[in-house]
Amino acid sequence: MTLVEVMVVVVIISMVAGIVGVQVFGRFKDAQRKAAFIQIKDIGKGLELYKLSSRRFPSTAEGLQALTQPVGGAEPVMNSIPNDPWGAPYVYIFPGTQNTTSFDILSYGPDGVQGGGDDVTNWDDPNAPKE
């Protein structure tokens, strides 16, 4: 095999690896977003259980950590509150600014900036395309 043939093979392998890498990275980002939606949904269920025990949602000041505390002699609703897939804590607001009769839960997404276009919230459609 000549040097030119070896270089052609290396270029082809590099191109294929680049295409595969882009596809895998895109799916990883999508999986992180879906994981955030699932966690937000689970936290929302925890908040509903908290309300059943205490007849109210935690205040914004109490935050999501209220779910890890015993309520009315009962066990805590959740053992711990996960961070979002990007390592940041979820934001909890009660009463919500979007869900005015209940609560808002949101992650600022991979850019960590509120309103950056990639936020994940409990009022968004999880199947809506995001860039």
Q: Tens-digit pLDDT profile for the chain (131 aa)?
A: 787 777 777 777 777 766 666 665 567 788 999 999 999 999 999 999 999 989 999 999 999 999 999 987 889 999 999 999 999 999 999 999 999 899 999 999 999 999 888 999 999 866 555 54
Query: How far, CA to CA in Å, does 108 sit from each of 16, 34, 45, 112?
Result: 33, 14, 20, 5
Determine the pLDDT at residue 3.
76
pTM: 0.77
Partner residues linked to 20 by β-bridges: none
CATH architecture designation of domain 3-121: 2-Layer Sandwich (3.30)
Separation between Cα atoms, residue 55 and residue 48, nearest integer Å? 10
Among left, alpha and beta (phi > 0; psi -120 to 50; other), residue 117 is: left
Helix or strand holding residue 93 (H, E): strand 91-93
Domain boundaries, the chain: 3-121
37 phi/psi in degrees, rounded to 5: -60, -40
Determine the pLDDT at residue 24.
56
* 45 CA to centre of own chain: 15
Determine the pLDDT at residue 127.
57
Does residue 26 contact residue 33 with C-beta atoms inside 8 Å? Answer: no
Determine the pLDDT at residue 65.
97
CA atoms within 13 A on the CB side of 44: 16
Determine the pLDDT at residue 5.
76
